[in-house]
Structure 1
Amino acid sequence: MFVLELTADLTGVTNLRPIDTLEDPYYYSFRVQCTSCREMHDKWVDFDRFTTTDLSKSRGEANFVYKCRNCTRESSATIKTAPKAYMAASPPTKQVIIEFECRGCEFTEFRVEGEWIADGLTESKFDSINLAEDWYDYDEKTSEEVCVKEVGWVIRRA
């Protein structure tokens, strides 16, 4: 089991999460490495938690199925939980966003793409948050600036 952890400095917002619904799925983007021969796949792989593919030599299915070009071993990954919201903390802390099970492969790097949403400390809602860079906005209800900055990602074995 692996987890994707987020660390971010949130000001004026909390409950930061990807937009990830059946109607509008979030595509998780990773670099993948075969655990058998240690070959790194040369491209980023993207998959969502709602789409599954059948495994070739099993009755099972997974969100991501990969056949290594070097050793031809089939590997897979399955997202185990819906994404969890990142809650504001001072100082910023690592928090698990998503859990996934990998068989025959490891994810070595995460690339954030897609839109995220957050709740203001009042009843304000913020959408179209791009975490690829620091994000700033203005909360009309509190008349203060809100932001998400110093975003960091870690993939670790759970």
Structure 2
Amino acid sequence: MGRIGLQLRATLENITRLRAEGEDFRWYLKLKCGNCGEVSEKWQYLRLMDSAPLKGGRGSATMVQKCKLCSRENSIDILSQTIKPYNAEDSEKFKTIVEFECRGLEPVDFQPQAGFAAEGAESGTPFNDINLLEKVCCLSFISNSNYLASVPYDTSLKYVPCT
């Protein structure tokens, strides 16, 4: 299967650098077995901080699991160096925000949840623990003036083969 990139399209208003924050950020995915095609019923999450050994001492991956249907051992790994922020200039366009090394497990759906961070486009004000579970997220910051930023995102996320 190789490398697969997750692309996001969002409309950023008054914010920039929307990104997954920290090694404990949870990438909620539905995964498909590359051998038999079985798709997980429940959302599963991957975190950079997690590592499981591969069978036979061939290294490790973020997630290693045996398919419930065909019993094949599969793995998927988050490629940490590929995690990129979604910037104001990317607004309305699909952009790859992370890539996965897939060995038998293929992501077929993504559910953004909490753990995203961003900055005010002009002020640089940090916004932490943004929850994108709802399709529109509104952030507010009150100082000398009211500040409102919103992040409506496209739920038709794309997976693209990476080279």
Q: Please, which runs of 5 or more residues in structure 2 have no aligned partner?
A: none
TM-score after normalising by structure 1: 0.88
1: distance between equivalents of 2:78 and 2:90? 29
Is 1:5–1:96's contact at 8 Å kept on the other side of the alignment? yes
**Counterpart of 1:154?**
158
Higher helix share: 2
DSSP-derived class of the 1:20 partner: coil
Gaps of 5+ in 1: none
Q: Figure out how many residues of one structure are paired with residues of the other and give that number.
A: 155
Instruction: Tell me the alpha carbon deviations over residues 132-156 of structure 1, each in whole angstroms, 9 at most, x when there is no partner.
Output: 1211133446644211113332222
Matches within 5 A, 1:19-38: 19-21=21-23, 25-38=24-37
Task: Specify the alignment match of 2:139 in structure 1.
Answer: 137
Distance 1:79 1:130, change over 3 A: same
Mapping 1:32-111, distance limit 5 Å: 32-82=31-81, 83-89=83-89, 92-111=92-111
Identify the residue that residue 120 of structure 1 maps to in structure 2: 120
In 1: Cα distance, 2:35 partner to 2:144 partner = 54
What's the CA shift string for 1:49-79, capped at 9, x where partnerless? 1211001134211001111111111100111
Distance 1:50 1:90, change over 3 A: closer
Distance 2:69 2:147 in 1: 54
CA RMSD of aligned residues (A): 1.8
Q: Higher mean Cα deviation, 116-125 or 83-92?
A: 83-92
8 Å Cα contact 1:135/1:148 also seen in 2: yes
Contact in 1 for aligned 2:25/2:47 (Cα 8 Å): yes
Alpha-carbon distance in structure 2 between the residues aligned to 1:11 and 1:119 = 11
